[in-house]
Chain A
Amino acid sequence: GAVVSQHPSWVICKSGTSVKIECRSLDFQATTMFWYRQFPKQSLMLMATSNEGSKATYEQGVEKDKFLINHASLTLSTLTVTSAHPEDSSFYICSALQGVPDTQYFGPGTRLTVL
């Protein structure tokens, strides 16, 4: 149980284009999902908390107009990187919160490369 998927697993795009990453909880419903970014040999950096049916809460320093988050259902959250630039290249990981106890289960990650 508690399986989270991400799609795509990797994506290469040109500078200036937008990229959408999907995060799905496959066997449970998740009111809350999280989006992280991870640089090589570093720990996870929380970008935002995504709540079903409401606006996401962004961490300090994360541009909400650049990283658009939509949590339209209890099993799906999406992260759209708008007008991507090479510095947005990174490993993006989502997690879904399964309550009682509140445990985050992580997706396999999406490797984004912006040329």
Chain B
Amino acid sequence: EDQVTQSPEALRLQEGESSSLNCSYTVSGLRGLFWYRQDPGKGPEFLFTLYSAGEEKEKERLKATLTKKESFLHITAPKPEDSATYLCAVQTHSSNTGKLIFGQGTTLQVKP
């Protein structure tokens, strides 16, 4: 069964304290791995798509990496405005509809 697991569930950081969020996946065939940011009471905001092991993408203080088993979202010198829930999702080759399988998310709180 295709599965996505995110850890930790919650993460508290001081402003400027870099860290990483993990997304482990077990799927029959990975078509793409997606990272989204979700603020309370809002819909998810697209961040990155990764397609193959070794791929990396960056956006401001965020950097996403991908291996054959997991993805990491590295946050460098976070600011309070980076506080949000970060969702990881995978798309598999067996799905021709663009359907996503989501992890449970990591809620990040950055304190000033």
Q: Which A residues fall within an 8 A CB radius of B?
A: 2, 4, 6, 32, 34, 42-44, 46, 49, 57, 91, 93, 95, 97, 99, 101-109, 111
Contacts and interface: CB of A to CB of B under 8 A. Distances in A.
A7 to B, nearest CB: 13
Given A105-B46, A106-B43, A108-B43, A44 B102 contact: yes
A107 B45 CA distance: 9
| Consensus secondary structure, chain B interface | loop
Contact of B98 (A4, A93, A104): A104
A43 B104 CA distance: 5
A37 to B, nearest CB: 12
Contacts of A106: 36, 43-46
B34 interface: yes
A70 B91 CA distance: 24
Given A32-B97, A102-B98, A103-B34, A93 B43 contact: yes
Nearest to A94: B43
A49 B99 contact: yes
Contact of B49 (A32, A93, A99, A103): A103
Interface of B: 31-32, 34, 36, 41-46, 49, 51, 87, 91, 97-100, 102-105
A107 B46 contact: no
Contact of B103 (A32, A43, A101): A43
Contacts of B102: 43-44
B104 A32 contact: no
